[in-house]
Amino acid sequence: MSPKALLSLIVLGGVLLLASQGLYVVKETERAIKLKFGEVVEADLQPGLHWKVPFIEVVKRFDARVMTLDTNPSRFLTAGKKYVIVDAFAKWRIKDVRAYYKATSGSRLEATNLLAALLNKGLRDGIAGRTLHEVVSGERDALMTILTAQLNEQTQVELGIEVLDMRVKAIDLPEDLSRSVYNRMAAERNREAREHRSQGQELSEGIQADADRQKVVIEAEAYREAEQTRGEGDAEAARIYASAYNKDPEFYAFTRSLKAYTESFRQNDVLLLEPSSDFFRYLKDAQGKQ
């Protein structure tokens, strides 16, 4: 190989080495910062192909996607001096690369530790100003919204991190407090059950009294109608009897006497009557003899 060709290869190798050390690519999912002797010379590099001075400038890349901070359950004290165990998480991403690097030296572990500390402090301050009911159910959504805004404002200034969302996965009570709460809830439900039973009993008695009243009214009206119908029937029977008697009084009297004889003369019966009594009128002969 000639000296000229060897020189060309050396030059080409040097160019390739410089290119490999000087050219770099920032991806769409990354945020990058350029350092020179440890000092930030360019922050928030845009995605694409870039150039740096080899061996002098250093580029550090960080994940720009949304990340999740899942904290360990912690005990917090409410305004009523009751402890609650809160399990929360936060969604965050890098907002200011320069501030993020200065606060964490580019360590994601350090960033999560600092963010967790701020999150726990925000939860502690927020829960300390609210009662147990407000924390558990009444104002939990409103509390999370307020804490997210406050935490986001603080982390952007101190850590260069944007907090997108903050939520509570679970709020538990210590065992002794849980037992007390459950007992109080059971007592409250028993009280409500007694009230409902009392109201039901009162309603039942009212319905029963109204039914009894209606029963008396219906029976009275039915008795009145029955007596009226019976009276009308008796009157009609009397009218029919009177009409029949007027047609043949003698025959009517004869049939009445026969019926009386049938009902009066029974076996072993004894009647004390005068022979001249009108009762025996139809038992006499035509000459008036018995």
Q: Is 91 helix (H, G, I), strand (E, B) or coil?
A: strand
**pLDDT for position 238:** 85
**pLDDT for position 93:** 93
**pLDDT for position 11:** 61
Phi/psi zone of residue 141: left (φ > 0), alpha (ψ -120 to 50 degrees), beta? alpha
Separation between Cα atoms, residue 250 and residue 209, nearest integer Å: 60
Question: Residues 99, 154: contact at Cβ < 8 Å?
Answer: no
DSSP β-bridge partners for residue 76: 84
Phi/psi zone of residue 129: left (φ > 0), alpha (ψ -120 to 50 degrees), beta? alpha
**pLDDT for position 246:** 79
Q: By mean pLDDT, which of 67-71, 122-126, 129-133, 199-203 is the weakest?
A: 129-133
Sign of CA dihedral 222, 224, 229, 234: positive
Separation between Cα atoms, residue 137 and residue 134, nearest integer Å: 6
pLDDT bucket at 220, cuts 50 / 70 / 90: very high
More confident residue, 118 or 289: 118
Which tens digits make up the pLDDT trace of 87-110?
A: 899 999 999 999 999 999 888 999
Which tens digits make up the pLDDT trace of 140-175?
A: 778 888 889 999 999 999 999 999 998 888 888 777
More confident residue, 22 or 287: 22
| Predicted TM-score of the model (pTM) | 0.55
**pLDDT for position 132:** 77
Give which of 3, 19, 80 is closest to 54, Cα–Cα. Answer: 19
Question: Residues 61, 32: contact at Cβ < 8 Å?
Answer: yes
Strands 57-63 and 30-36, how do they pair?
Answer: antiparallel
**pLDDT for position 273:** 64
**pLDDT for position 163:** 93
The structure tokens 């290869």 sit at: 9
The structure tokens 């609650």 sit at: 84
